[in-house]
Amino acid sequence: MTRPDHASGSDRIFEAVTRVDPNAEASLVVNLQGDLPTLEPHLIEACLAPLATEGADIATLAGEIREPGERTNPNVVKVVGTPVSGARRLRALYFTRSTAPYGEGPLYHHIGIYAYRREALARFVALKPSALERREKLEQLRALEAGMRIDVEIVDTVPLGVDTPAELERARRLIGSAYPPAS
């Protein structure tokens, strides 16, 4: 268990990794969060892909929004980015709960899994929460405001995120149907 006073999930994961790996043998750290109960294992590999080359400090995932209601839903975090040449990837410019960017073209649903270079995670948690982070309630804005680079791998599936009581009930139904009680 981690301390209860952390400002973000990344702060908690840094405490955990320094306890589990005090000699810093792991150079990459993946932060899986419990609010994605249907996350498929191949998405973890996809999240690590942007860190296979130099440049990105942090990596995460997004899928194109296909449900019209998600475009305006503040519980669906959108990522705004610029395409990375030769990859199905964006370099993140901003994350928001609003509908963005404006105009024609795809909108991307951010999937809350992160992969960090260990030194980037240490740098991130040393930063104070930023003004935009506090306003949007999105910790990744702290990294962007500090000039850190976040690359976003585009994937074809968006796992169920559990942010509301209705989504929790949906997750219970999905997981319950996958694992019926033994008779």
* DSSP string computed for 143-160: HHHTT--EEEEEES--PP
Question: Among 141, 131, 8, which Cα is nearest to 80's?
Answer: 141
Rounded to whole angstroms, the Cα distance separating 70 from 148 reads 28
What is 9-178's CATH superfamily? Spore Coat Polysaccharide Biosynthesis Protein SpsA; Chain A (3.90.550.10)
Q: pLDDT category, 143, cuts 50, 70, 90?
A: very high
Whether the per-residue pLDDT at 181 is higher than 70: the answer is no
Type of residue at 166: A
Task: Answer for the pair 47, 158: CB distance below 8 angstroms, yes or no.
Answer: no
Instruction: Provide the 3-class DSSP secondary structure of residue 115.
Output: strand
Question: Among 31, 110, 97, 115, which Cα is nearest to 63's?
Answer: 110
Of 119-123, 137-141, 178-182, which range is least confident? 178-182
Whether the per-residue pLDDT at 35 is higher than 70: the answer is no
Query: Model's pTM, two decimal places?
Result: 0.87
b/e map of 12-38 (b: 16 or more CB within 10 Å)? bbbeebeeeeeeeeeeebbbbbebbbb
